[in-house]
Amino acid sequence: MKEKLKAIVDEALVKIQASEELDKLNDIRVAFLGKKGELTEILKSMKDVAPADRPVIGQLVNEARAALEEKLDEKKNYFAKKLREEQIQKETIDVTLPAKKPMVGHRHPNSIALDEVERIFVGMGYEVVEGPEVEYDYYNFEALNIPANHPAKDEQDTFYITGDILLRTQTSPVQVREMEKGKLPIRILAPGKVYRSDEVDATHSPNFHQIEGLVIDKNITFADLKGTLAEFAKQLFGENTKVKFRPHHFPFTEPSAEVDVSCFKCGGKGCRFCKGSGWIEILGCGMVHPKVLKMSGIDPEEYSGFAFGVGLERIALLKYEIDDMRLLYENDVRFLKQF
């Protein structure tokens, strides 16, 4: 009986040692310690053992059971530990791997240029104001000294919503709305979208942006206009930038001028950028027409003022040396992320 017991235990130990997974271990437990297991069978056969030997055999069986259980637990713990280690290995994050960067938006060259222009004029005490893009004919044309039969209305080829409502062709109506408020003096910058029924090409778009400025106060002269725009040009294009005023005509200003800045690429000597002239045209301006002042309820005998308008795209194209305006609207990320 003793030998048989030893043989059973040895066999079990070998099997436990050789088992490679938790399931096999359970099979071994059932095979040896289960209800029909080999050790249990021995206990059942105790009736064949001489009564005097029974306690000894009983103790041996119990010892064998205890030994097997200990080994089984040991092996079970070993498997559990191994499993945990494998899991930890699997779930480990390698923090040295380069992370995937999320796509972050990028400021548009137009926005960068607008911020720059606003910064310059706010620094000179201007207030930034906005107005409606869908505008009355009155504010867009009539109040700016462009009556119904004026050729400028044809020139600008407007998008009409109804007979007297349209998409504004300029940001000047914001000036009229500001003047009508009757609060003087005025010193405003009005940036915004404007619309004209132009075909899309390298220098035209049916939708673009203007930035207009308006100053109205007592004793404002053309010298104030020149000084302001000369300072603006210096801050935008560099300390050595010069300005040149060429006589021009706008219905809402008198006198009117177009302003060129000395080429910031060649300093005025002439290069490909300025087409050899040394000058680059950037904006239109003038002294506010007395008729415009009067229509908005301001006495031209007491007050005077100047206005100027610059294309935002023009500034962005010049500043970043972009040669095709369409690039600003295509929203190609490969293009935009260069700025």
Which residues fall in the annotated binding site?
A: 254
**Burial of 329 per CB tally in 10 Å (0-12, 13-18, 19+):** middle
Output the 3-class SS for the chain: CHHHHHHHHHHHHHHHHHCCCHHHHHHHHHHHHCCCCHHHHHHHHHHHCCCCCHHHHHHHHHHHHHHHHHHHHHHHHHHHHHHHHHHHHHHCCCCCCCCCCCCCCCCCHHHHHHHHHHHHHHHCCCEECCCCCEEEHHHHCHHHCCCCCCHHHHHCCCCECCCCEEECCCCHHHHHHHHHCCCCCEEEEEEEEEECCCCCCCCCCCEEEEEEEEEEECCCCHHHHHHHHHHHHHHHHCCCCCEEEEEEEECCEEEEEEEEEECCCCCCCCCCCCCCCCEEEEEEEEEECHHHHHHCCCCCCCCEEEEEEEEHHHHHHHHCCCCCCCHHHHCCHHHHCCC
Closer CB to Zn ion, 189 or 233, in the complex:
233
The distance of closest approach from Cβ of residue 281 to Zn ion in the complex, given in angstroms and rounded to an integer, is 13
The distance of closest approach from Cβ of residue 237 to Zn ion in the complex, given in angstroms and rounded to an integer, is 12
The distance of closest approach from Cβ of residue 219 to Zn ion in the complex, given in angstroms and rounded to an integer, is 37
The distance of closest approach from Cβ of residue 238 to Zn ion in the complex, given in angstroms and rounded to an integer, is 13
The distance of closest approach from Cβ of residue 266 to Zn ion in the complex, given in angstroms and rounded to an integer, is 3
Closer CB to Zn ion, 195 or 279, in the complex:
279
Closer CB to Zn ion, 234 or 265, in the complex:
265
Residue with tokens 């498997």: 79
Closer CB to Zn ion, 222 or 273, in the complex:
273
Closer CB to Zn ion, 243 or 298, in the complex:
243
The distance of closest approach from Cβ of residue 246 to Zn ion in the complex, given in angstroms and rounded to an integer, is 17
The distance of closest approach from Cβ of residue 317 to Zn ion in the complex, given in angstroms and rounded to an integer, is 15
Closer CB to Zn ion, 5 or 271, in the complex:
271
Annotated binding site for Mg(2+): 254
- Which residue minimizes CB distance to Zn ion? 263
Tokens of 77: 């713990």
Residues that bind Zn ion (CB under 5 A): 263, 265-266, 271, 273-274
Closer CB to Zn ion, 274 or 328, in the complex:
274
